[in-house]
Structures are given as structure tokens and as C-alpha cells.
Amino acid sequence: MKVVVCVKQTPSTTATLSVKGGVVSWEDPGGKPNVVNPWDEYAIEEAIRFKENRGAAEAVALCLGDPSSDEALKTCLAMGCGEAILVSDPALLGSDTLGTARTLAAAINKIGDVQVALFGKQAIDGDTGHTPVQVARVLGWTPLTYVAAIQSVDGGSITVDRMTDDGKETVTAKLPVVISFVKEINEPRYPSFMGIRKASKAVIPTWTAGDIGVSAPAAKADWSNVYPIPPREGEIEMIAGDTPEEQARNLVNKLFEEKVI
Amino acid sequence: MSGVWVYVENREGAISAISREALGAARQVADSLGQPLTALVFGQGVGPACAAAFDLGADAVIGADDATLAGGRVEAHGPLLAKLAQERQPAVILIGASTRGRDLAAWTGADLDTGVVAEAIEVKVDGGVVKATRPVYAGKLLCEAFVTGTPQIVTLRSRAFAQAAATGKTGAPEMVGAAVAEDAIPTKIIGFEGKGGKVSLTDAGKIVSGGRGVGGPEGFEPLRELADVLGAALGASRATVDAGWIPYEHQVGQTGKTVAPDLYIAAGISGAIQHQAGMRSSKVIVAINKDPDAPIFKLARYGIVGDLFKVIPALTAEFKKRLN
């Protein structure tokens, strides 16, 4: 059995973004504008642990994106994934989450012998968290979202702890499953020196839409109108006072006046 | 293709806060479209929640009361919502963007082959289409998004919409059966630990949050005292979580929780862009920092330049006096 980890390349968390003519661009003060989606790092770590501790034959990293996304896949290889596959095709640009899910599901089927597909809980650019569930629906597998711990995997079933808004839920499910992880699951490892060297030389196979038998999807949502956040209205008011006590009194007065309290 | 549906999360007969907000937003969407509002109340022992849905403005209620629907498994709720939508063809389905709501929206969108707009913070109706404003890139940009398929599924971010007001309306719900039998559901819930009444950050009306300026784990103590007096939740910047001063569940920001309280008190937080992404929708922001040039002051409504270890205890004492 192989385990697949689906990753996305996103702007770094420190990136500043701008929009011109509806096109989003970004730069990063640290000079590394693109990263593996930070939530996906937990899924990559867990995929490698499936190989190390749970008898998975291989941890395969899968990414849908433009050709530059092979950088994200090289990070996966450097961390310890044994294979990486990029799905990239101009025809697939502009996919919505369901289109993305159909593409990833087709790629997972082509990889074959997969029982577990892993995701981060959401991507920090689109921020929907819908893709893992939709991949599960397209594959006919069971989705297990917001997973904070894997209790056991045996005899074709898996038991996990999910962190929901209501609390911690322990769930047992039959394989195959699609899992999305939250931060509590693990501490992602850093790529090793050897890993980085090996990854830098790796040639990552690219699959087109035709290779996996999907056609250009018609997006069922429109999100083309992206714009900067308008500045917050009103100036800041600095609270005066000769002592902290006086400042506290003045601030509390303001908050009562504004009926915040 | 007509009618606005709203999915109503409920636990022990009570409608959750996020679904009271969804009912409020859905009522306005239904009125703008000139269409009736139907609430979907699935669970076990849903009688009181069905009655509450009428009271909170629903014109009709479809209830489903079954043991398989307790606990909110998406493998039970998803097929039922998809089946009902296929049979009755609503124009719009609105769902609160809780962990459960996000899964349900994604499931239903896939099964109905339609789009889903996630985490709206504003909705309006424009020519029969629900146009949603939503943050993208972790709150660094905004987007106007809409669904081009049918039905239009939109999830609504927690605390972005006012809760529906009680109307006094009553009615009889239409009860339907579950769509899937227990044997056909591949997941079993074998344990559950609730939050024990603790205010979660995302639901909190007030948050007191600490950054690097607190200096260490014990530096959160004065913030905790202020939070207790205010009935606020305790937040933290990523730097303090990474340093191990406070557990991750308190983290506000791009890789933590996104919050929108009425009052956000940021103490010793410089206001890095990742932190701002998680809290900039707060209604009133108070910044307390030693550094007058800290970026947080650009976002704040009120600012105090000073030592948080002096200002916070003074605030706690002042609030105690005024609130008692």
C-alpha cells in the first residue's frame, strides 16, 4: 500500500500581496516568495511516518499547480517522500475546489494501490478546507478532517482523534480514507542535508490532464474579483494619562462610551 | 429552482451560535430574493431546535430525528442534505462555516456538482445571485465570489453576521427520515470530549491576547486575570506559542485561529502581518506596547504606549470596579 500526500505551493506567510487589474502578485522580504502550504507540512511528515512506522510501501507527494510547483515537491522529497508527481496543464488552470478534487482523485487512481490520501487542513491562499472532503467524495472514500492524532491503523480500519469546534471526537473508519490534519498532529521534520542534495537532482514527472484522463473542468464558482482590504476607518486614539491607573481609567471610560463593554 | 435553505447545527436541543448567525443572514437573503426561508434541522431530539428555528425567522422547517444523525457525522448529514436538495431544488443553501459546516458544504457541493463559496463575511443579492465577500490569502486580500452552478452553496464565517432575533413565530416542522442506515455509514464515533463550557477563541466576544512582550509563560498571568474579569478568551501570538509559553490552541493568526471579537486587547504584540491576518476583523482593537512604532498601532482604535505589566493590572482593577 502506498500513501499519497497532496500538497499545494502557496505564497509564504510573510509575503505581502498586491492586486493590479485583478492579478494577484506577491513578494517576500526574506526572498522566498513561494513555499509548501504551511498546513501541508504536517501531512508530509505524517506520510513519511506511514512509510517508516505503519508499513506503507511508499510516500508519494502529489501536487496540482504550475510548473514552478516542482519546488514544493522537491521540499517533499528532501523531507523524505520517495516519489513526487506534478500534475500541470494549462487546461487545468482556474479549477475550483471540485475541479481540483477530480484531478487529484484521477491522479491518485493512476498512482494505484493507495489506501490513504493525506492533506493539510486547508491552503493559506484559497482558505476553503473543502478539497480533502471533495477528493473523498469523488473517490468514494471516507473523509476524516481536522485530525489531531492517529490512534491506530490495522485490519483495514483506522482510528483517529478529530478536533472539531465542539470538542475532541474519536472516530473509527474503514479504509480507504482521505485525512486532513491540524497542527497538533506532529512536529514536521526539517529536510536533511542528504535529502536536499538528492531532491535537487530529482527529475519530477509531470502528468497532463490527458495523462490522467480528466478534461478541462468548468468552474462552478467565480472568484475573479480580488481586491485589497480597505484601510480601517478612523484614526487611532492614544490614551493619555500620567500613571497607568489614569490611562486604564481613561481607556475603560472610552470602551464603556462606545458600548464595547 | 427556488427557496433559500439554511442548515441549522444543534446540540442537546439548542441551536449553535454560528447557526443563529446563519439564520439571520439567510432571512435577509430570502427577503432580497423574495423567496421563502427553510431551515434544515438534523440530529437527535431536534424538537426544541425545530421550534427555535421558527422563532428565529424560518418560514418552514424540515426536521430529521434519528440516532444516526446525532454527533453530526458528515457521512449521515451530507447524503440527507444532498438528497433533499436533489428532490426539491432550492436556489440557495447557506451553512455556518464551522468545522462541521465546512465538511457538509464541501460534501454537498461535490454530490450536487455545484460550486461552494467558503467563509463569506458579507452577502448581498444581485440579480438573483448571492454575492459573497470573503477574505483570501489568509485575510490579506478580499474577494467577491459567487456560485455559477445550482444550487448556490455559501458558508458563512463565524461572528461575521448578526444572530437572528426571536420573532415569536411558531409552526409545525415537516419531519423526514435519515438518508443512510447505520450499517451503511463507514464511520463510528467511539469517544467525545466536549470543551467543558470554555469560551473558544473563534466564538469569543472579547479576547485578551499576548505577544513576545509578555516575556515568558508567567507573563500571561496578568492577561489571564484581565480575561477572567472581562469574560474574555485568552489569545497569543505565534512567537509565544513557538517559544512554548502557551499552548497552540490560543494562537491567533495565519497559522492559528481567525477571530472577530467585539474587543481585542493586544498586549505586547508587535502586529506582524501573519498576526494581523487573524484578527483584523475585530471590531475594536486596543494595543498596548512599549514600542510606539509597533505596526499594531496602525490597526488599533485605542493605543497605550507603556509597560503591559503596569497597564494590564491597572485595567483589571478598573474593570473590576466598573463591572461590579
Same domain, B22 and B157: yes
Total domains in chain B come to: 2
Please compute, for residue B137, the number of CA atoms within 13 A of its CA located in the half-sphere on the CB side.
24
* CB nearest to A137's CB, from B107, B145, B287: B107
> Which domain covers residue B54, as residue numbers?
4-184
B145 and B239 in a single domain? The answer is no
| Cβ contact A219–B148 (<8 Å) | yes
| Residue B16, in any domain of the structure | yes
* CB-closest option in B100, B262, B311 to A260: B262
For the beta carbon of residue A250, count every other beta carbon within 10 angstroms: 16
Find the angle CA(A27)-CA(A30)-CA(A34) to the nearest 5 degrees. Answer: 55
| Mean pLDDT along residues B174-180 | 98
Three-state DSSP class for residue A259: coil
Q: Which residues of chain A have pLDDT under 50?
A: none
CB contact at 8 A, A77 and A84: yes
Residue B222 and residue B173 share a domain: no
Answer with the one of B151, B184, B217 that is the final residue of a domain.
Answer: B184
Low-confidence winner among A206-220, B2-16, B188-202 (lowest mean pLDDT): B188-202
Regarding beta strands A83-87 and A206-207, do their DSSP bridges make them parallel or antiparallel, or are they unpaired? parallel
Where does a domain end: B184, B219, B241? B184
Buried/exposed B79-103: b ≥16 CB within 10 Å, e otherwise: bbbbebbeeeebbbbbbbbbbbbbb
Together in a domain, B46 and B155: yes
Rounded-to-integer distance, Cα B250 and Cα A162, Å: 18
CB contact under 8 A, A244 and B314: yes
Tell me whether residues B189 and A223 touch, CB distance under 8 A.
no
Q: What is the distance in angstroms between the Cα of B169 and the nearest Cα belonging to chain A?
A: 29
Residue of A nearest to B261 (CA): A260
How far is B60 from chain A, CA to nearest CA, in Å? 27
Q: Do B154 and B268 lie in a common domain?
A: no
- Which of B108, A92, B128, B127 is closest to B118 using CA atoms? B108
The maximal CA–CA distance of chain B, rounded, in angstroms, is 63
Residue B197 sits at the chain A interface (C-beta within 8 Å): no
CB A159 within 8 A of CB A172: yes
Phi, psi dihedrals of residue B70, rounded to the nearest 5°: -65, 145
Mean pLDDT of the residues in chain B: 96
- Chain A partners within 8 Å of B116 (Cβ): 97-98, 128, 130, 221
Query: What is the C-alpha separation between B86 and B181, in angstroms, rounded?
Result: 19
CA distance B6 to B24: 10
CATH number given to A2-212: 3.40.50.620
What SS3 string covers chain B?
CCCEEEECCEECCEECHHHHHHHHHHHHHHHHHCCCEEEEEEECCCHHHHHHHHHCCCCEEEEEECHHHHHHCHHHHHHHHHHHHHHHCCCEEEEECCHHHHHHHHHHHHHHCCCEEEEECEEEEECCEEEEEEEECCCCEEEEEEECCCCEEEEECCCCCCCCCCCCCCCCCEEECCCCCHHHCCEEEEEEEECCCCCCHHHCCEEEEECHHHCCHHHHHHHHHHHHHHCCEEEECHHHHHCCCCCHHHEECCCCECCCCCEEEEECCCCCHHHHHHHCCCCEEEEEECCCCCHHHHCCCEEEECCHHHHHHHHHHHHHHHHC
Residues B17 and B126 in one domain: yes
Q: Are residues B169 and B54 in the same domain?
A: yes
Question: What is the CB neighbour count within 10 angstroms for residue B310?
Answer: 17
Average pLDDT estimate for B51-67: 98
Q: Which of B118, B202, B317 sits opposite A128 (nearest CB)?
A: B118
From B167's Cα to the closest Cα of chain A, the distance in A is 25
Q: Which chain B residue lies closest to A254 (C-alpha atoms)?
A: B302
Identify which of B299, B187, B87, B25 has the alpha carbon closest to the alpha carbon of residue A145. B187
With respect to residue B27, please indicate whether it lies within any of the assigned structural domains. Answer: yes
pLDDT at position B197, please? Answer: 64
Cβ distance of B144 and A225 shorter than 8 Å = yes
pLDDT at B198 over 80: no
Residue B112, in any domain of the structure? yes
Percent of chain B's residues with pLDDT above 90:
92
Specify the CATH number for the domain of residue B115. Answer: 3.40.50.620
Contact A173 B186 (CB under 8 A): yes
**Are residues B167 and B97 both part of a single domain?**
yes
Q: Are residues B211 and B165 in the same domain?
A: no
Assess whether B230 and B283 both reside in one domain. yes
Q: Is the distance from CB of A60 to CB of A5 less than 8 angstroms?
A: yes
3-class DSSP state of A117: strand
Q: What CATH code is carried by the domain that includes residue B252? A: 3.40.50.1220
Using CB atoms, which residue from B115, B149, B254 is nearest to A124? B254
Contacts of A11 in chain B (CB under 8 A): 137
- Rounded CA-CA distance B60/B50 in Å is 9
Give residues with Cβ within 8 angstroms of B127, minimum separation 6.
none
The grid cell for B2 is 427556488
Residues B233-291 have pLDDT tens digits of 999 999 999 999 999 999 999 889 999 999 999 999 999 988 998 999 999 999 999 99
What pLDDT does residue A155 have? 84
Amino acid at A3: V
Identify whether B194 is part of a domain. Answer: no
At B140 the pLDDT is: 85
The answer as to whether B191 is a domain residue is no
Asked if B37 and B74 sit in the same domain, the reply is yes
- B134 with B31, same domain? yes
Residue B195 lies in a domain: no
Question: Residue A221 is nearest to which of B106, B147, B317, comparing CB atoms?
Answer: B147
For residue A261, what pLDDT is reported? 85
Whether B144 has a pLDDT exceeding 80, the answer reads: yes
Tens of pLDDT along B76-94?
999 999 999 999 999 999 9
Fill in the amino acid letter for A247.
Answer: Q
Strands (E), A8-164: 9-11, 16-20, 23-27, 34-36, 58-64, 83-87, 114-120, 142-154, 157-163
To test the contact with chain A by mutation, choose from B81, B112, B116 the residue with the greatest count of A C-beta atoms within 10 A, namely B116
